[in-house]
Amino acid sequence: MRVSTSMIFNSGVGGMRDLQSGLYKLQNQLATGRRILTPADDPIGAAEALKVTQGKNVNERFIENQGQASSKLAFAETKLQGVQEELKAIYERGLQAGNGSYSDEQKAMIATELKQRMESLIGLANTRDGAGEYIFAGYKSTTEPFTRNTAATPPYSLAGSSMEYHGDAGKPALSVSASRDMAVGENGLDVFMQVRDASGNVTGESVFDSVQNMIDILDPASGVPYTQAAYNQALGGIMDSLDHMNTVRASIGSRLKALDDLKTSAEDVNLNYEMRLSELQDLDWLSAISSFTQHKMQLDAAQTTFQQTSQMSLFSML
């Protein structure tokens, strides 16, 4: 078989091109630390890696939602703790006012303090979050939930409450796992307006009504006469509000605990995803460096040989 100069040249160029291509691929693998650069490198492994990556992305979204849910619930719980502390102080001062030795002036002084605490309660009920949204307005988060009802007259109850609620009964939720959506807040209707007793029955007075009724019977300027029956009812209403607030906070606490458990589980799943991706995609550094060195030596040898053979000609013998 006759071997022409063009055949030698084309064969040498083709061989060097293949070696350069392999060397380029190895350089990219070493630069990225990845074994699979394109699906052609390992079609089955690339397909599985895509599925694992998609699962990991979904799981990370759940972890992000769990963090947001925890922040929202923790913020609401902090405000409800403030509400409970105000109610405790109101109850204690109201209990003192029931002392038979207290004069009207002393009761009026307690009423003045309770008015200030009432304003604090309203402020807490109208709390906004960092985004400027009202946390106790349900889905109507851009609407101030509580305002004074100037048309109502004492004694106050749900039939004619001292406060008006402008939110709704919704509870915003987030998907915190593949099978669970969790309420990340409380609406003002459930927290402040519909106070429930130990049996779960609605008492008929809002948190604000019991406090306002206590203020009215202690304040001579209100025109509402002080009677033992009215005093007992107002004090009992404040105690019901305290018990109700315990129940609401316990509900939020249970969700925070559930979120902690979900986060731990999701982080374990995320670790498994990362380990599987590493198995599928990560480079065997020892093998890759050895292959790179071998390809480099072969390319250098091929280039040297090509240079020598490309110069071979019968004319050089003449």
- 64-103 pLDDT, tens digit each: 999 999 999 999 999 999 999 999 999 999 999 999 889 9
The predicted structure's pLDDT at residue 12? 47
Q: In the numeric block, which tokens belong to residue 111?
A: 């009423």
Cis peptide before 225 (omega within 30 of 0): no
The predicted structure's pLDDT at residue 117? 98
The predicted structure's pLDDT at residue 44? 81
Pick the closest to residue 91 from 112, 65, 117 (CA basis): 117
Q: Which CATH architecture has domain 71-274?
A: Up-down Bundle (1.20)
Considering the entire predicted model, what is its pTM? Answer: 0.79
User: Alpha carbon of 115 to those of 63, 208, 237: distances in Å?
Assistant: 44, 11, 17
The predicted structure's pLDDT at residue 3? 47
Q: Which residues of the chain have pLDDT under 70?
A: 1-42, 281-318
The predicted structure's pLDDT at residue 250? 96
Residue linked to tokens 């593949």: 178
